[in-house]
Amino acid sequence: MCGIVGYVGPRDAIEVLVGGLKRLEYRGYDSAGVAVIGGDGELATHKRAGKLGVLQRDLVAEPLPRSETGIGHTRWATHGGPTDVNAHPHLGDHGRLALIHNGIIENYAALRDELAAEGYTFASETDTEIAAVLLGREYGRTNDLVGAFRAVVGRLHGAFTLLAVHADEPGLVVGARRNSPLVVGLGDGEQFLGSDVAAFVQYTRRALAIGQDEIVAIRPDGIELMDFEGRPVQGEEYEIAWDASAADKGGWSSFMAKEISEEPDAIEQTLLGRLHDDGVDLDEELAPGIDDDVVRSITRILLLGAGTASYSGLLGKYAIEKWAGVPVEVELAHEFRYRDPVLDAGTLVVSISQSGETMDTLMAVRYAAERGARTLSICNTQGATIARESDAVLYTRAGPEVAVASTKAFSAQVIALYLLGLHLAQKRGTLGAEETRRLVADLRALPAQLQTVLESGGEVRELARSMSDTRSVLFLGRHAGYPIALEGALKLKELAYIHAEGFAAGELKHGPIALIEPGQRVFVVVPSPRDRNSLHPKVISNIQEIRARGAHVLAVAEAGDVAVLPYADDVLRIPLAGPLFEPLLAVAPLQMFAMELAAAKGLDVDQPRNLAKSVTVE
């Protein structure tokens, strides 16, 4: 979850490190710190609890020496609370070595006991300090930072990315990774390391993905890459598809506001080049890992995700089953491998992860591959671990998403799943030509339709402000509206810190209706009355039932739906669209509502408490 950055080169390292941490702060904002090797050959560090701004102010008041070698860290706390002492970097070798860490070292207690028995003492409560002291001990034996890394990383269990510098080796940063992300930025006479490319995209768009159980050493004139045994390996270079301006607010009040505004473009970019008038073309992207023979042999599909990604999977399930006629199950990635699931060569496992580094999803993908299933990744981040380890990848092209609460990534994930559903339908012959053309037209219409929804932001803002003291909100939906109810509730929990629950509307009489009392606010995602199989009358009945018990009903309904008017206290309108496309229009008002309610309560929209963007620990 933590953000890490490393630099060697002619620039002022502090400037590079702090700039990188600013773009990585969405990965953790409990504390931050930096370590540099000054021109006098001494190691200098500074770290503070709190958000990055606390560290920045201290660095202005008490500047560290100019340096061309350094590492920086922004933390999401696991072991030990968010204090100055527990903040990274941690030191070893009598203060000559500094180390930062992303992940969890599971055997840290045994290693701590071993070091304590040798007389070592510890200042913090963290697992990271154990790795720093262990690395410092090994450096004292070898006087070789790369060699010390090789000796230490094999002893560590769990998930980790480690970066370290030593005062005796200026111009060198060494990193290692296992089950946690690390990427190199390739420059001219300078090199970068980061937990993702946002750390260095301001300076270079050339990146190199670091593989599982690999060590990298960066120096101004190049990099050295090897496995944990010291054998040279070849990294995979790629070009970053966006520039630093994409990770800036661009005048918006928050990254979340900016990213909601980018949803139409995220959908359009995810469709670009993949749609033609008569269907979908994913052949080049999915082959050879998932070619036509594999597609025709699929007997079932498992969609894996966590949080928002799992809700996009629920929407994907409706589309894939309807269009391709393949049974689909949606599973929480963190529960999947612990129940001994039955998998075989006829199972396609589709993982959904914005970052492509979500630890529980990554472990589920590895589990599925080991048992013979085909794996497909739906991912928004080039070079991510899950994408590299899957048989095929379908990138969502949403651009960088900085706000912790996902918005445009969710919409792009749903679109990618819909494209997959159409691709499977074409290959398996389950959709007629006329129906396919209609669905293609519906997909193409979505960006413009969504743009009209976003223009209702003022109405949503006023509604949110009128509810700033609300302590509980319920969300109801049926069929494809049910995942939107779940997502709306999640956004409100994440951002406004109030009780919010999403329910399938049909479950109302099976228990949840007991929560309804006079004044209870309830959002209802109302399906279109135009579909011949519409659940519209049943949802209207649900509204009447809760209204009769004093609920305040806030309906999200399509334009022209007059049947809802007698029973709803407030109505947010969305354009007319097909049953599987309306949810992508209905989710935007709920995202905006959660954002505006949080803002009305004076809360940080982009960095909600206790959360971080990329969950890289299990």
Q: Annotated active-site positions, please? A: 2, 613
- Of 551, 409, 411, nearest to 476 by C-alpha is 551
State the number of CA atoms in the 13 A half-sphere of 240 facing the CB: 26
Which H, E and C letters describe 236-263, residue by residue?
EEEECCCCHHHHCCCCCCCHHHHHHHCH
10 Å CB burial of residue 217 (0-12, 13-18, 19+) is: buried
Which residues on adjacent β-strands are paired with residue 232?
Answer: 226
d(CA 451, CA 184): 37
Distance in angstroms between the alpha carbons of the first and the last residue of the chain: 10
**What angle, 0 to 180 degrees and rounded to 10, lies between the N-to-C axes of helices 433-454 and 263-271?**
160
Task: Give the C-alpha separation, 315 to 482, whole Å.
Answer: 9
Instruction: Identify the residue whose tokens are 């040279």.
Output: 232
Length of the chain equals 618
Residue 508's Cα: distance from chain center in Å? 32
> What's the Cα-to-Cα distance from 316 to each of 291, 302, 312, 411, 547, rounded to whole Å?
20, 11, 6, 11, 32
Q: b vs e for 149-179, b when ≥16 Cβ sit within 10 Å of the residue's Cβ? A: bbbbbeebebbbbbbbbbbbbbebbbbbbbb
Phi, psi of 208 (to 5 degrees): -135, 120
**Radius of gyration in angstroms for the set of CA atoms belonging to the chain, rounded to a whole number:** 25
> Beta strand pairing status for 173-178 and 158-166?
antiparallel
